[in-house]
Amino acid sequence: MPSESVLSELLAKFAATYGRDPAVVAYAPGRIEVLGNHTDYNEGYVLSAAIDYGTFFAAAPRDDGTARLTAGDIMETVEFPAAAPERSESASWSNYVKGCVALLGDRLGPPDRGFDAMFLGNVPLGSGLSSSAALECSAILALARLRGASLPKLDVAKMGQRAENEWAGVKCGLLDQASSVFGEKDALVMSDFRTCEFKPVSFPPDVCFLMCNTHAKHALVDGAYNERRDRCERAARFFAAALPHPVSALRDVSWDEWTEHHGDMDELDAKRSAHPIGEDERVLAGVELLREGDAAAFGRLMFESHESSRTYFENSCPELDAVVDAARGVPGVLGARLSGGGFGGSAVVLVERRAAETAAAALASAYARRFGSPCDVRAVSCSEGARVVRG
Ligand code: ADP
Ligand code: MG
């Protein structure tokens, strides 16, 4: 959980704005993607973690049907009928929460009264740590509790994803919300996107992660993303015809099968599909290595994952490559790779805990030597997932 000071600040601002204390407060963390890149829509596996940065969402019931919602960092308030939220053009941040309100209305029936709410967090926005999932999941938990309901974790995650897809207009898979909801302290979350099972995998206590935000954003991300998805689907159709067993997604194809058949495929389909197929195998191998407590070998899989992104999927960029290349030479670093969609954003670095501080400084200055200014580096720990903390 982020420092109690975020919660204290939220409670003080809530009281000053609404003249009373909240009846409920929920918390949801951001997340990092550790291994398993672009595997979710190929029905594969991901290892991720909830982190010790997150968002608090506080709410109190009202006697009328009005909903008042304040973003605690910018202190901007929107007002809407709790039973009939509408998408906002000007306050786009509010759509993440309005979507949650609308979907909770579908699930629990229209609310008979409104609420006053405010949220505040310390997940940097738009840096690949999923402040959006932290906001959605904390809002759903708090507003459900305010209505006396408690939803299964998977439903919270799916509702958050739908709010983001349909209300914020962001195409995202379920990974961010599932990681925020199913996170556990000192554990990674192993996600299976075919069965929608999410299980904790213990993580060695003597290592931690550094997130390096390059702030790079490369153009044509939507086009490139769609191209990758199309190629993966075409490759799955190729393997469905070529292999003797059923293939409904790349999840069903092994690396050995790829190696045997890729020469018969369209060259680019072969290249793109190598990445999710290899990633699935690395995730499964990584789970075993963590069970054995072998963080060093796990780190090598992270470097392999990045190399696969760079060469096969081509979703890296010079900034991310620079972080990963620099990480290879930093004492205490065990692995590094891009984290999330790619084409910019953040890289995740696995480092021995005792070397984390010096490694962070070394990475920031190596990046600055190359690009003129340092990337943002922050240490993150695997932390407990979303929960109601008050009320
Ligand atoms: P990421 O999830 O990687 O941080 P996104 O672009 O998916 O990046 O989500 C960021 C958006 O979520 C912000 O632009 C804002 O609209 C909304 N948001 C999330 N958390 C907050 C917050 N604490 N205050 C205001 N807006 C927030
Ligand atoms: Mg997001």
Among candidate residues 225, 302, 324, 359, the one with its CA nearest the CA of residue 49: 302
pLDDT band at 328 (very low <50, low <70, confident <90, very high): very high
pLDDT band at 1 (very low <50, low <70, confident <90, very high): low
- Give the C-alpha separation, 230 to 253, whole Å: 17
The tens digit of pLDDT for each residue in 293-318 reads: 999 999 999 999 999 999 999 999 99
CATH fold, domain 4-202+384-390, is Ribosomal Protein S5; domain 2 (3.30.230)
Q: Tell me: pLDDT of 45 over 70.
A: yes
Q: Exactly one of 40, 52, 176, 269 is catalytic; which is it?
A: 176
Among candidate residues 277, 285, 227, the one with its CA nearest the CA of residue 249: 277
CATH fold, domain 207-380, is Alpha-Beta Plaits (3.30.70)
Residue ranges, CATH 3.30.230.10, the chain: 4-202+384-390
Give me ligand 1 centre to Cα 139, in Å.
Answer: 13
Mean pLDDT score, 337-348: 93
Among protein residues, the one with the nearest Cα to ligand 1's atom 9 is: 132
CA atoms within 13 A on the CB side of 297: 13
Please name the helix (run of DSSP H) or strand (run of DSSP E) that holds residue 389, with its range, or none. strand 387-390
Atom of ligand 1 nearest to the CA of 131: 4
**Whether the CB of 130 sits within 6 Å of ligand 1:** yes
> Across all residues in the chain, what is the average pLDDT?
96
- Give the C-alpha separation, 76 to 167, whole Å: 19
Neighbouring C-beta atoms of residue 185, cutoff 10 Å: 15
- Give the C-alpha separation, 170 to 164, whole Å: 6
The tens digit of pLDDT for each residue in 122-168 reads: 998 988 899 999 999 999 999 999 999 999 999 999 999 999 999 99
